[in-house]
Amino acid sequence: MNRWLAALLYALLCAVTFVVCFPLLWAISTSLKPKEEIFRWPPTLLPERFTFESYRELLFGGSAASAPGAGTPPSDFFLHWFANSIIVSVGSTVISITVATLAAYSLTRFRFFGQRAVPYVAIMGYMIPSVIFVFPMFLTLVELDLTDTLLGLTLGYVCITLPFCLWLMWAFFRGVPLEIEEAALVDGASRLQVFRQIVLPVALPGIIAASIFAFIVSWNDYLFGRVFMNSMELLPLTVGVMHFFDGTHVDWGLMMASSVLMTVPMAILFGFMQRHLVAGFGAGAVKG
């Protein structure tokens, strides 16, 4: 490639990357400022004095702002919320992926009535606005006595992630050739053996892409968490951090520090799996 063109492209890439990353860089910068510097005008681009105060408050508790004996400040729940989010996101991802993988395999390898319609019903399911079924679903959970439990929230997330996972896995399995499986079956392997030993390894990129997707959706949700959950120590992160707005006071340092901490697990996950994401989505997933 022409050297000048390459330089131009790099410049363009850097500019775009800067604009895209700026909101997060600014969040990091804000989270590292001492409280009095956060509100200064004109604002300082980089903290004049670095402090990990906000992070310390979130991770080790002991908010300076709380009066003695005044109940637990919301920041003390941060680690609870974090753990909750991990539990429900991992839980719903595992359930969704397991169920979707089995079903998608069945759909592409067996013949039965209504087979071709299932993926389309599923994808329509994913397009249905969650605002429609969040309340009916809540009422269902009431009947099952699962409101304000992590299990209830996990099931709620299964309901929003499962359809799209099925769709992704279905698209993926369609692209996996049948020959090896058939050969193995002819050689006397059972269907379950084939599934475990031949199909799953091949489907791994698809499974990873769908898992990332399911994890992102569960981790990012706000609406279900807000409606289903109640107890402070059982909230997911997204709903919990909104407690840092206490009506008359918002601690932007805490807010931004928790933003950063909420994004970190996603960033790590993403760093490892980025390659598979493109591959997984590329396998005709949105192509039909």
If one asks whether residue 103 binds another protein (CB under 8 A), the answer comes out as: yes
Binding of another protein by 222 (CB under 8 A): yes
If one asks whether residue 62 binds another protein (CB under 8 A), the answer comes out as: no
Q: Is 253 one of the binding residues for another protein (CB under 8 A)?
A: no
Regarding 188 and contact with another protein (CB under 8 A), the answer is: no
Which residues, numbered 228-247, are part of the site for another protein (CB under 8 A)?
A: 228, 230-234, 237-238, 241-243, 245-247
Dist CA 203 CA 222 (whole Å): 31
Q: Which of 32, 88, 208, 210 binds another protein (CB under 8 A)?
A: 88
Chosen residue from 79, 184, 189, 279 binding another protein by CB under 8 A: 279
210 touching another protein, by CB under 8 A:
no
Ramachandran area for residue 86 (φ above 0: left; ψ -120 to 50: alpha; else beta): alpha
* Selected binder of another protein within 10, 50, 52, 60 (CB under 8 A): 10
Angle between helices 150-174 and 130-143 (to 10 degrees): 130
In the bound complex, what is the minimum distance in angstroms from residue 57's beta carbon to another protein? 16
Distance CA 1, CA 58 (A): 49
In the bound complex, what is the minimum distance in angstroms from residue 187's beta carbon to another protein?
15
Residue closer to another protein, measured from CB, 54 or 238: 238
User: Using CB under 8 A, which residues numbered 16 to 35 contact another protein?
Assistant: 16-17, 20-21, 23-24, 26-27, 30
- Considering the complex, what minimum distance in angstroms separates the CB of residue 56 from another protein? 20
The residue from 166, 168, 210, 257 that contacts another protein (CB under 8 A) is 166
Nearest to another protein of 35, 56 (CB atom)? 35
Q: Residue 104 has which token pair?
A: 């998608």
Give the one residue of 32, 58, 162, 210 binding another protein; rule: CB under 8 A. 162
Question: Does 205 sit near another protein (CB under 8 A)?
Answer: no
Give the C-alpha distances (Å, rounded to integers) separating 205 from 1, 121, 172: 32, 24, 9
* Least distance (Å) between residue 185 CB and another protein: 8
- Rounded distance between C-alpha atoms, residue 236 and residue 179, angstroms: 45
Size of the site for another protein (CB under 8 A): 136
Using CA atoms, how far apart are residues 148 and 118, in angstroms rounded to an integer?
A: 32
51 binds another protein (CB under 8 A): no
Check binding of 191 to another protein (CB under 8 A): yes
Residues 125-154 that bind another protein (CB under 8 A): 125, 127-133, 135-142, 146-152, 154
Among 32, 158, 208, 210, binds another protein (CB under 8 A): 158
SS (H, E, C) 191-216: HHHHHHHHHHHHHHHHHHHHHHHHHH
Tokens standing for residue 194? 């084939």
Minimum CB–partner distance for residue 53 and another protein (Å) = 15
- Ramachandran class of 148: left when φ > 0, alpha when ψ lies in -120 to 50, beta otherwise: left
Q: How far apart are CA 42 and CA 39, in angstroms?
A: 9
